Chains A and B, each alone.
Chain A
Amino acid sequence: MKTVYCSIHGFGAIGQGVAEVLLRKKEYLESLGLEVKVVAVVDSKGATVNPEGVDLADCLARKRTAGTVALESISGVEIIQSVDHDLVIETTPTNIRTGGVGLQNMLAAFQTGKDVITSNKGPLTLKYRELMETAKAAGSHFRFEATVGGSMPIINLANEVLAGNKIKSIKGILNGTCNYILTRMLEERASYNDILAESMQLGIAETDPTYDVEGIDTACKLVILANAIFGLDVTYNDVDVTGITKVTPEALEMAYERGHVIKLIGEVSKERIHVAPRLVPINHPLAVGGTLNVASVETELAGEITVTGKGAGPIETASAILSDLIAIYGN
């Protein structure tokens, strides 16, 4: 049995999802010869630390009742530097301006020879090259399947499953909030603002929806794909971005009458990175509704391959983190 010692940074929706999945998959992981011990759980108030492994069920219960896991006020970076472990699971909030605490955690992890698995797009959007080089110099693994498309496999699909194929382009819907809004506007023939309000009530859109509806989130995901799959060295500023705020129910209806839906489509290839609302034929593989995400990978040998799945949600996103964990330590 191999023991993987890890820390979880950020204990919100995704951090807790990871804890739940680790509990649920304990036996399965053991069947792969893996025992995962969490030495620290960190939220914005502080942390729970135990070099022998914290009790995850206890952490989840405490977070629910007390609102925090913090038993001591120690930062994530301090834990990474002072507590011996192998893996940092980074699920703190995305900050695309500074990289936020996530960037500091990741760099500290590499500097101390640890591996990183993350769902946090910020640092990758901002400092991809630096992070990759630091990880490589340290001999650390760095995996981030959960940053793009939640549960939907895309980075590992292109780089590993389709290994040997040149990837020509990837096109898809990478933001569930925008997909939900456009789907509902057409269904209800309702205005953008009405459906946005509905989405907020349902918790599908955030209180500040700018990041999603202006196409910024999709652009950040394309930046990660461009760097990780197409070997480019780009940042957010290299993306041509148009969001969905101007789309009208009338436009959706006229398009529908002619057999099309309007979707916020992200598109990346070596030549261009582009986000904009596009007309998609109703029977096209990318014409999925609701909060679903979808991506078509155009490959050199295998033709076009399309994957679709839930782009968000704690357990779904934790599933991508789990698959990264198994990819590093399984076997």
Chain B
Amino acid sequence: MRVSMDIELKDVPGQMLLALQPLSEYKANLITVVHHHQKRTPRKTVPVKLILETRPESIETIKAKLEENGIRVVRVGEHRFRESINVVLIGHVVHTGIQDTIDEIDRTGFAEVVDLSLSMPGINMLSSALMKIDAVGKEDLQKALAILKEVSTKKDLLMVLPIDIQA
């Protein structure tokens, strides 16, 4: 099960390690860490969002372990993708490195490429890809699309967006 966990770290060195150690101990698979370096809570702690894949029964133990390490766990919730869209990319999709593009979106933690169809009719011909992207919320989806747009411009790909999306 995919879980998002909002935690707060004290603003002293070594805190991140204390946060990650219970995860590996309980074999949770860490997907993303969104670390707000600049932000501070009113308690002067640093807010961090973890997204991890783990067995449901481990969640409570991990949470307890984190708190034992002095880390405040503000919120734990199932990490659900509520938004989903299809995007078409046309151009030299493959040899400009589609995997990079996918990784870049997946790394955000709030959006993920969940399906990809590729068609490469021949050398020197334009390839086409249809990508399905899931995201946690509407804003996250827009952020993922912004990444995709930047990549498309850089790689000279035509990006075809759904009509109801703000292009």
Contacts and interface: CB of A to CB of B under 8 A. Distances in A.
Given A251-B88, A258-B86, A242 B128 contact: no
A280 B165 CA distance: 11
A229 B148 CA distance: 33
B163 A248 contact: no
A279 interface: yes
Nearest to A263: B163
Contact of A248 (B86, B117, B121): B121
Contacts, number: 68
A262 interface: yes
A182 to B, nearest CB: 11
Given A246-B158, A279-B88, A255 B130 contact: yes
A242 B163 contact: no
Q: How large is the interface on A (under 10, 10 to 19, 20 to 34, 35 or more residues)?
A: 20 to 34
A260 B161 CA distance: 11
B147 interface: no
Interface in B139-155: none
B167 interface: yes
B167 A262 contact: no
A11 to B, nearest CB: 39
Contacts of B162: 260, 278-280
Q: How large is the interface on B (under 10, 10 to 19, 20 to 34, 35 or more residues)?
A: 10 to 19
B34 interface: no
Given A254-B119, A258-B130, A274-B167, A248 B90 contact: yes
A277 interface: yes
B160 A279 contact: yes
A278 B90 contact: no
Contact of B160 (A250, A277, A281, A286): A277
A318 interface: no
A251 B167 contact: no
Contacts of A279: 86-88, 160-163
B88 to A, nearest CB: 5
A24 interface: no
Nearest to B157: A246
B162 to A, nearest CB: 5
A265 B90 contact: no
B130 A278 contact: no
A254 B88 contact: yes
B163 A251 contact: no
Contacts of A255: 86, 88, 130, 160
A324 B105 CA distance: 52
Nearest to A265: B163
Nearest to A246: B158
Contacts of B127: 248, 250
B126 interface: yes
A284 B117 contact: no
A247 B90 contact: yes
B91 interface: yes
Interface in A171-185: 171
Nearest to B132: A258
A250 B90 CA distance: 9
Contacts of A253: 119
A280 B130 CA distance: 14
B117 A254 contact: yes
A220 interface: no
7 contacts: A250-B121, A250-B128, A254-B119, A260-B86, A260-B162, A277-B158, A280-B163
Given A251-B160, A258-B130, A263-B163, 4 more contacts: A248-B127, A250-B121, A255-B86, A258-B86
